[in-house]
């Protein structure tokens, strides 16, 4: 592979930690795009659109670089789940998820130095246990996941909230589907095993 830079179009520490597992040198840069969903835009389509838009936005500022964009859109019973940002919102979100299924659509887009795009999508289904208010309070006291859609961290204590996780890529739920990204990078000629 050439010496062209690899840039992660994100300031997410979770995505940076995940990308670091691939042992490739990379830079990070926030995309700072409008993430407003389109009217009646399905969650999976929204994730794909935002991942590509983030990658293209950063690629425009760095001609000749390889750029990775990623986005995750979570939904439960047709309602989008954002990052709660505050404990009150996290309580509400976890109560809404109690005993239900949530789907996390995580898209990744790799833009080449000439602007070609390769994209992949992972959908992870999480079935939450029935949670009472005491269980929710206990979880939030131990791990207030205020910067995570769904108000939990599956890689942490949040695993105790689930009945099951159905996924083809466990890293996707954290925010960057490394199995799909590894395939995209390999197809593009990056030196991975």
CATH number for the domain that contains residue 147:
3.90.950.10
- Is the residue at 1 inside a domain? no
The answer to whether the pTM exceeds 0.85 is: yes
From first to last of its 193 residues, what are the pLDDT tens digits of the chain?
445 699 999 999 999 999 999 999 999 999 989 888 888 899 999 999 999 999 999 999 999 999 999 999 999 998 999 899 999 999 999 999 999 999 999 999 999 999 999 999 999 999 999 999 999 999 999 998 899 888 998 888 999 999 999 999 999 999 999 999 999 999 999 988 7
Q: How many domains are contained in the chain?
A: 1
Catalytic residues: 71
Give CA–CA dist 56/137, Å, rounded: 40
- Is the residue at 164 inside a domain? yes
- Is the residue at 65 inside a domain? yes
Query: Tell me, what's the pLDDT at 123?
Result: 97
- Is the residue at 141 inside a domain? yes
- List CB contacts of 8: < 8 A, sequence separation 6 or more: 15, 16, 19, 26, 27, 28, 29, 67, 68, 70
Residue 139 Cα distances to 21, 65, 87, angstroms: 28, 41, 11
- Is the residue at 43 inside a domain? yes
Calculate Rg over the CA atoms of the chain.
17
- Is the residue at 192 inside a domain? no
CB 173 within 8 A of CB 126: yes
Q: What region does 110 belong to: left with phi over 0, alpha with psi -120 to 50, or beta? A: beta
Query: Tell me, what's the pLDDT at 132?
Result: 96
- Is the residue at 137 inside a domain? yes
- Is the residue at 193 inside a domain? no
Residues of the domain holding 52: 6-187
Query: Tell me, what's the pLDDT at 46?
Result: 95
Query: Tell me, what's the pLDDT at 4?
Result: 67
């Amino acid at each position: 592979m050439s010496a062209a830079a690899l840039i992660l179009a994100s300031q997410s520490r979770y995505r940076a930690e995940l990308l670091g597992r691939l042992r490739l040198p990379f830079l990070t840069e926030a995309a700072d795009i409008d993430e407003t969903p389109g009217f009646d835009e399905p969650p999976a389509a929204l994730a794909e659109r935002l991942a590509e838009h983030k990658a293209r936005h950063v690629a425009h500022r760095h001609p000749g670089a390889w750029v990775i964009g990623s986005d995750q859109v979570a939904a439960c019973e047709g309602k989008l789940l954002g990052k709660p940002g505050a404990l009150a919102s996290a309580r509400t979100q976890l109560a809404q998820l109690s005993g239900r299924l949530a789907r996390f659509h995580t898209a990744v887009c790799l833009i080449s130095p000439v602007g070609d795009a390769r994209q992949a999508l992972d959908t992870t289904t999480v079935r939450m246990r029935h949670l009472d208010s005491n269980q929710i309070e206990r979880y939030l006291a131990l791990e207030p996941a205020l910067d995570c859609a769904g108000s939990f961290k599956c890689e942490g204590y949040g695993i105790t909230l689930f009945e099951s996780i159905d996924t083809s890529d466990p890293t996707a739920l954290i925010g960057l589907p490394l199995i799909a990204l590894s395939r995209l990078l390999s197809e593009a000629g990056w030196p991975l095993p």
